[in-house]
Amino acid sequence: MKNVPVIDQIIDLAQSLIQTRGYNAMSYRDLADQIGIKTSSIHYYFPAKEDLGRAVMAHYRQGIRSALAGIDAKTPDPRVKIERYVGLFRETVQSGCICLGGMLATDFTTLPQGVQTEVRNFFAENEAWLANVLETGRTSGAFMFEGSSAVKASAVFAALEGAMIAARLFNDDKRLVSAADWMLDTLSAPR
């Protein structure tokens, strides 16, 4: 990691620690020790832990935005889009982590305001993307469901986050896949 700028090393390691331990269990001392720098170097880039938390979540959100844009660019099929979206969750579980947004949501009441805002924005962006895919699917006849696509999207996102937690708990990514398959079967129009 010597060629990686220190600020990127800090953000990447902080993300990894938060995804495996949680926000409150990650410290500047952990980061400094693992990167091999002084804590003052971290404070140079991120004067407060809130600054680091916001930067990590913003970086993660950008990565997810890019992944969603990639999904959109590769297929117009709403079912395939949802399957590929589930693949993002599966990759995260297989790496031994939890979605950063989901992990931070568990610490939500203890997070600084700026980090809370980033987490809410992450959820809103994912749910908006899902709502669009679901509505497109309903319009095309690929999906069939009653009610608001926004309400369905929030339920789908919540179910995937919960299934991810269960998959990690039981060290079994099939729990996530089974939940996703059931959701897609429930949403899909009869063939």
Instruction: Say if 169 falls within a structural domain.
Output: yes
Query: Between the CA of residue 109 and those of 19, 24, 116, 132, what are the distances in Å?
Result: 17, 11, 8, 30
Domain count, the chain: 1
Distance (Å) of CA 160 to CA 54, 67, 140: 23, 17, 24
Residue 77 lies in a domain: yes
Which CATH number does the domain housing residue 78 bear? 1.10.357.10
Provide the mean pLDDT of the chain.
Answer: 94
* Measured CA distances, 22 to 42, 91, 92 (Å): 19, 19, 15
pLDDT surpasses 60 at 7: yes
In the prediction, which pLDDT does 190 show? Answer: 76
Question: Which pLDDT belongs to residue 117?
Answer: 97
127 within domain boundaries: yes
For the stretch 168-177, pLDDT in tens is: 899 898 999 9
Residue 36 domain-assigned (yes or no): yes
Q: What is the pLDDT of residue 188?
A: 85
Task: Report yes or no on 66 lying in a domain.
Answer: yes
Q: Is 99 exposed, middle or buried (0-12, 13-18, 19+ CB in 10 A)?
A: buried
Q: Say how far apart CA 164 and CA 92 lie, in whole Å.
A: 8
Q: What is the pLDDT of residues 73-107, one digit of tens each?
A: 999 999 999 999 999 999 998 888 899 999 999 99
Q: What local confidence, expressed as pLDDT, does residue 173 receive?
A: 87
**Sequence letter at residue 15:** Q
Higher pLDDT: 106 or 190? It is 106
pLDDT in tens, 22-79: 999 999 999 999 999 999 999 999 999 999 999 999 999 999 999 999 999 999 999 9
Residue 26 lies in a domain: yes
SS3 per-residue string spanning 138-156: HHHCCECCCCCHHHHHHHH
Q: Structural domain of residue 135, as residue ranges?
A: 6-187
**Strands in 13-55 per DSSP E:** none
1 in any annotated domain: no
